[in-house]
Amino acid sequence: MRAEELKGHLDALLLAALEDGPRHGYAVIEYLRESTSGRLDLPTGTIYPALHRLEEAGLIAGSWSVVGGRRRRSYRLTESGVRELAGRRAGWREFAAVVEAALEAKPWPSPA
């Protein structure tokens, strides 16, 4: 699946990916791929700028480290990020409900 239609929802997924502890960008990609059974495979050109945006917004905090000779930037949720994630989750449910209402506002909603 392309992340094209993710517009406006990617941030929520990134925050969720950091909810159970810090991860670096590459690991976030793998996490999202695995947690969606391979259906969501984001390109690095999508992930890294998005993480920078979230850091700039103060929702996540990054720190450099070196593991196995490779430098990593690990991100953790800030307090603000935790609140934002909660709001995003609620926002998603609201959004999904609205789309489903509009999409399925049909006299035959369920198979007889």
Partner DNA sequence: CCCTCATATGTAGTAACGCTACCTATGAGA
Partner DNA sequence: TCTCATAGGTAGCGTTACTACATATGAGGG
- For the record, the structure tokens of 9 come out as 């929802």
Q: How far is CA 34 from the centre of its chain?
A: 13
Residue 92 tokens read as 């998603």
**Beta carbon of residue 36, minimum distance to its own copies (angstroms, whole number):** 5
Contact flag: residue 78 with DNA (CB under 7 A) = no
Rounded least distance, CB 100 to its own copies, Å:
8
* 86 touching its own copies, by CB under 8 A: no
Angle between helices 44-56 and 10-17 (to 10 degrees): 80
> Rounded CA gap, 65 and 81, in Å?
22
Q: Find the binding residues for DNA in span 23-52 (CB under 7 A).
A: 24-27, 42-46, 48-52
Q: Which is nearer to its own copies, 63 or 97 (CB)?
A: 97
Residues 22-61 binding its own copies (CB under 8 A) are: 32, 35-37, 39-40
